[in-house]
Amino acid sequence: MTRPPETPDDGALDPRAEDPGAMRPWRRIPRRDSRRIHVGGLPVGGGAPVTVQSMTNTPTSDARATLDQIRRLEEAGVDMVRVSCPDTESTDALHTIVREAAVPVIADIHFHHQRAIEAAAAGAACLRINPGNIGDRRRVGEVVRAARDHGCAMRIGVNAGSLEKHLLDKYGEPCPDALVESALEHAAALEEHDFYETKISVKASDVFLSAAAYRKLAAACPYPLHLGITEAGGLMSGTVASALGIGTLLWEGIGDTLRVSLSADPVEEVRVGFEILKALDLRHKGVRVIACPSCARQGFDVVGTVAALEERLAHITTPMTVSVIGCVVNGPGEARATDLGVTGGGAGQHMVYVAGSVDHKVDDGGMIDDIVALVENRAAELAADEADGGPGTAHAGGSHQSA
């Protein structure tokens, strides 16, 4: 593999800038040192925040329907969106989609190098394409030229379900070595044309296979990696598989961008992606509710309160932590480490904590409205701080990398 040139160090987005590990070393995740590329204006790799992607499932040729779905994904916080471009109707519609989308748009291309050239010309920020599958060196060169002319990055997307025949013949079945060899062959096809604005994925539905392939690839190349467990399943099963596969790799410091693949509303993919990042303290967006499972000691209906708060606080994008704990067994302790906390007390009277300190009591009937108002006010304060160039960071939740 040709060694890509060094990337400029525009390290302003270095997530270690406010290093929480200084205070809580057990939370520190040293991240793999990858090359930084850009997808539209978004940096990927080289210490940039881990980005969350999703993919539309509307016909791309229907620009209106696709943009409606992209809007919903944007509202959920998606960083970039991928759309399939199987035909010229899709690449025609891509002009409108790119122009009206607020986030970078990635064009997903299989086999047809002309679609890739059209997508680059339409303004796609990235092409998801496997250059080894689009024909001879000349065709690869034409796609690279289009990508370069239009400022496109590329994602090589190796999938265990569609490995090249010569690798299946060589290895007998999809295995980590086969996935990595495929990825490096595709990367080499781009390197032949001095193209290095590349990120790579090696996805499998088997968590073990995928994780092993990503580890091997991480050691074998400097490119930023796009994480995912492919065909992971429905909302519940796919979330668990993705949290294990993507989460394990991120915990090892591997991965620069991710997509959670769910057979569900794509908006759920974005939500799950951010929940994985929040759980690993890698990135924060919106309210993270820390809640006990509840038991006979609970002073209020914890489960119902959490459901109501998650729904009513879904519009908050400011990183913030809220603890909802049913009784004093764990309530005060959790509240000390969150921005806002409520702890169940006796006789329908519950204690509210602000920035870790006891603040006031609230009764059952007014509790949810009270917490929602406190969160909204605190979010407005933090947004104003940020606009003034002030601290703009939440209290003890360790939010070192806001979204």
Name the residues that contact ligand SF4, by CB under 6 A.
Answer: 292-295, 297-298, 325-327, 329-330
Q: Closest CB to ligand SF4 among 325 and 379?
A: 325
User: Nearest approach, Cβ of 381 to ligand SF4 (angstroms)?
Assistant: 29
Minimum CB separation of residue 349 from ligand SF4 in Å reads 15
Cα three-residue angle 219-223-82, rounded to 5 degrees: 125
Q: For residues 195 and 300, which CB has a smaller minimum distance to ligand SF4 in the complex?
A: 300
Rounded to the nearest angstrom, the gap between the alpha carbon of residue 372 and the centroid of all alpha carbons in its chain is 26
> To the nearest whole angstrom, how small is the minimum distance from the Cβ of residue 342 to ligand SF4?
12
Cβ atoms of 241 and 229 within 8 Å: the answer is yes
Contact between 38 and 153 under an 8 Å Cβ cutoff? The reply is yes
Supply 225's token pair: 């990696």
Q: How far is CA 332 from the centre of its chain?
A: 32
Report the nearest approach of ligand SF4 to the CB of residue 377 (Å).
26
Residue nearer to ligand SF4 on the CB measure, 295 or 380: 295
Nearer to ligand SF4, 122 or 324 (CB): 324
Instruction: Report the alpha-carbon distance of residue 79 to residue 213 in Å, rounded.
Output: 25
CA distance 197 to 4: 9
State the DSSP string of 311-372.
HHTTT--S-EEEEEESSTTTHHHHHHTSSEEEE--GGGEEEEEETTEEEEEEEGGGHHHHHH
Matching residue, tokens 């010309």: 121
Identity of the residue, 37 or 325, whose beta carbon is nearer to ligand SF4 in the bound complex: 325
- Write out the two tokens for 94: 């891509």
Q: Report which residue's Cβ sits closest to ligand SF4.
A: 326
User: Which CB sits closer to ligand SF4, 17 or 329?
Assistant: 329
- Burial classification of residue 17, based on how many CB atoms lie within 10 Å of its CB (0-12 exposed, 13-18 middle, 19 or more buried): exposed
Q: Give the Å distances, CA to CA, from 318 to 18, 108, 237, 290, 296.
A: 17, 32, 29, 16, 33
Tell me whether residue 71 or residue 297 sits nearer to ligand SF4 (CB atom).
297
| Residue 190 or 292 having the CB closest to ligand SF4 | 292
One-letter amino acid for residue 223 of the chain = Y
CA torsion angle for 81, 16, 220, 183 (degrees, to 10)?
A: 0
Q: Which is nearer to ligand SF4, 50 or 309 (CB)?
A: 309
What is the closest distance, in whole angstroms, from the C-beta atom of residue 363 to ligand SF4 in the complex? 18
> What SS3 state is found at 37?
strand
Q: CB of 292: closest distance to ligand SF4 in angstroms?
A: 3
Q: How far is the CB of 319 from ligand SF4 (least distance, A)?
A: 24
Distances (CA, A) of 373 to 12, 340, 367: 33, 11, 10
